[in-house]
Amino acid sequence: MSLSPGSSEALYAEACRLMPGGVSSPVRAYRAVGGTPPFLVRGAGAQVWDVDGRAYLDYVGSWGPLIAGHAHPAVVRGVTETAARGSSFGAPTPLEVALARTIVASVPSIEMVRLVSSGTEAAMSALRVARAATGRRAIVKFDGCYHGHADALLVRAGSGVMTLDVAARSGGPWASGVPASAGVPPEVATLTFTLPFNDLDAAEGLFRQRGEEIAAVIVEPIPGNMGVVLPRPGFLEGICGLCERAGALVIFDEVITGFRVARGGAQALYGIRPQLTCLGKVIGGGFPVGAYGGRRDLMGQVAPLGPVYQAGTLSGNPVAMRAGLETLALLDDAAYRRLDELGGALADGLRDAARRAGTALVVNRAGSMLTPFFTAEPVVDAESARRADVARYARFFHALRERGILVPPSQFEAWFVSLAHTEEDLRRTCDAAAAALAA
Ligand code: KE4
């Protein structure tokens, strides 16, 4: 097995012959910013290195999981020990009980949880439970939010869908039936209504007309997939009230925000109890883990306890469980204070750099996740995010990359600060940003 693969360019040329776009996930292909993606071979703390030996300060963090930084010694040790005793059994293990126990103890609304291998599986399964529990078929999502690539959720989605600009643009204040991907049958998409995030009037209009058809609303409580956008005060509570009156369920997709913005996720920050919650990323510490959970009566619908079927060969995989447990063990109150300090310092530094350069920049932040938007207007939903200058973001991205700073290759993603980042790293990043903006 060749481990000295040559340059990123050579690897990318071969990868493009072997894999669609040369990548295992679309956003990694740099279509929104152009250029050849660096092929990474090593990470340690806040740094990553590519095959050409270049080092980068990393703010992608594997899109959220690496809240403790790359190759944290406790995670590496735990994973190594666990793998040496066998990597997978397809049987119950103590480690999955331990992670389930930690999740139930940490996330206020989760009384029972099922572990899966990705956020996509978590979201699609939570929707299936909601449809079974309510006997209804329609679901509601928000334009710009992304919940993985299950058919029903590829409608005006965020993240890579928004980045590749395949998102549907038609439809009034709420729209249904317009797939955001080829291969999604219109009859599936017609069951998915989309609404503008932060627009309670539009939600009230939809519920007035179609409320009795709606099984669930699925929402990122703090979206990261249109870039970071904060819920207006009362918005999430308003959605919960509409659902309660209509007999629909609320699903918080906390795949990004779970254990990221607080130990109990955004629901703990806002004091809201959704009926179902999706988790991922941080709970796997860089290994494939997702989870969905919630009220005991709802999770009691899930096979083998109830009629909702969902399964997975590597669900609850012991190595991945151990990576998640070791990561979550690092996340105490002091860790969240530190993450918030670092996130705040980076956001302030970017704003100062833009002010000095006379560049319009809006930075939305929640704890250690943030997005700088090249725009002068507040970014409160997908439409305002789309009005940001994505070409300017692309130039900024490359100017930072040339200075050894790696940020998400899309305006519609979140930057992540980890516990491994230092004040010196942030100073270096903000200096690079100032130079990049002045160029
Ligand atoms: P996965 O199937 O990629 O593990 O999770 C899907 C998912 C579900 N819900 C939310 C809120 C998510 O952000 C995601 C996945 N996030 C993207 C980045 N924003 C993953 C990166 C990628 O697609 O390569």
Q: What is the pLDDT of residues 226-272, one digit of tens each?
A: 999 999 999 999 999 999 999 999 999 999 999 999 999 999 999 99
CB atoms within 10 A of CB 197: 29
Task: Determine the distance separating the centroid of ligand 1 and the alpha carbon of 374, expressed in angstroms.
Answer: 23
Residue nearest to atom 22 of ligand 1 (CA): 25
Active site residue 253: yes
CB distance 253 to ligand 1 below 6 Å:
yes
pLDDT for the residue 178: 77
Task: Determine the distance separating the centroid of ligand 1 and the alpha carbon of 35, expressed in angstroms.
Answer: 23
Spatial distance between the Cα atoms of 28 and 17, rounded to a whole number of angstroms? 16
Q: What is the mean pLDDT of residues 342-363?
A: 98
CB atoms within 10 A of CB 105: 10
Spatial distance between the Cα atoms of 263 and 400, rounded to a whole number of angstroms? 31
pLDDT for the residue 4: 55
CB distance 413 to ligand 1 below 6 Å:
yes
Q: At 216, give phi and psi (nearest 5°).
A: -160, 155
CB distance 63 to ligand 1 below 6 Å:
yes
CATH number of the domain at 8-72+333-438, out of 3.30.1490.20, 3.40.1440.10, 3.90.1150.10, 3.30.465.10?
3.90.1150.10
Q: At 360, give phi and psi (nearest 5°).
A: -75, 120
Active site residue 281: yes
pLDDT for the residue 168: 38
CB distance 118 to ligand 1 below 6 Å:
yes
Residue 354 has pLDDT above 70, yes or no: yes
Residue 436 structure tokens: 């990049």
Residue nearest to atom 15 of ligand 1 (CA): 148
How large a percentage of the chain has pLDDT more than 70?
96
Q: Which pairing describes strands 138-142 and 112-116: parallel, antiparallel, or unpaired?
A: unpaired
Task: Determine the distance separating the centroid of ligand 1 and the alpha carbon of 125, expressed in angstroms.
Answer: 15
Task: Determine the distance separating the centroid of ligand 1 and the alpha carbon of 75, expressed in angstroms.
Answer: 22
Q: Are 41 and 173 in contact (CB under 8 A)?
A: no
pLDDT for the residue 99: 98
In whole angstroms, how far apart are CA 431 and each of 88, 260, 363, 368, 383?
A: 46, 26, 17, 19, 31
CB distance 315 to ligand 1 below 6 Å:
no
Question: Which of 12, 56, 146, 393 is labelled catalytic?
Answer: 146
Task: Determine the distance separating the centroid of ligand 1 and the alpha carbon of 147, expressed in angstroms.
Answer: 7
> Domain limits of the chain?
8-72+333-438, 73-328
pLDDT for the residue 172: 46
Residue nearest to atom 13 of ligand 1 (CA): 256
Q: What is the mean pLDDT of residues 287-294?
A: 98
Please identify, by atom number, the ligand 1 atom nearest to the C-alpha of residue 278: 9
Spatial distance between the Cα atoms of 219 and 142, rounded to a whole number of angstroms? 7
Spatial distance between the Cα atoms of 102 and 264, rounded to a whole number of angstroms? 11
CB distance 27 to ligand 1 below 6 Å:
yes
CB distance 159 to ligand 1 below 6 Å:
yes
Task: Determine the distance separating the centroid of ligand 1 and the alpha carbon of 25, expressed in angstroms.
Answer: 10
Residue 1 has pLDDT above 60, yes or no: no
H or E element, residue 43:
strand 40-44
Spatial distance between the Cα atoms of 47 and 421, rounded to a whole number of angstroms? 9
Please identify, by atom number, the ligand 1 atom nearest to the C-alpha of residue 28: 24
Question: Which of 30, 58, 141, 281 is labelled catalytic?
Answer: 281
Spatial distance between the Cα atoms of 109 and 106, rounded to a whole number of angstroms? 9
CATH number given to 73-328: 3.40.640.10
Active site residue 336: no
Query: pLDDT for 155-188, tens place per residue?
Result: 877 777 777 753 334 344 667 777 889 999 989 9
Please identify, by atom number, the ligand 1 atom nearest to the C-alpha of residue 160: 23
CB distance 141 to ligand 1 below 6 Å:
no
Q: Which residue in 343, 353, 342, 363 sits closest to 400, CA to CA?
A: 353
CA 388, 389, 390, 396 torsion-angle sign = negative
Identify each DSSP E strand in 280-374 by its residue range: 290-294, 362-366, 369-373
Residue nearest to atom 9 of ligand 1 (CA): 147
Query: pLDDT for 71-126, tens place per residue?
Result: 999 999 999 999 999 999 999 999 999 999 999 999 989 999 999 999 999 999 99
pLDDT for the residue 393: 98
Same fold, 8-72+333-438 and 73-328: no
- One-letter amino acid of 162: M
Q: What is the mean pLDDT of residues 265-290?
A: 98
Task: Determine the distance separating the centroid of ligand 1 and the alpha carbon of 236, expressed in angstroms.
Answer: 21
The residue to which tokens 């979140």 are assigned: 414
Question: Which of 50, 58, 143, 253 is labelled catalytic?
Answer: 253
pLDDT for the residue 3: 52
383-418 b/e (C-beta count within 10 Å ≥ 16 → b): ebbbebbbebbbbbbbbbbebebbbbbbbbbbbbbb
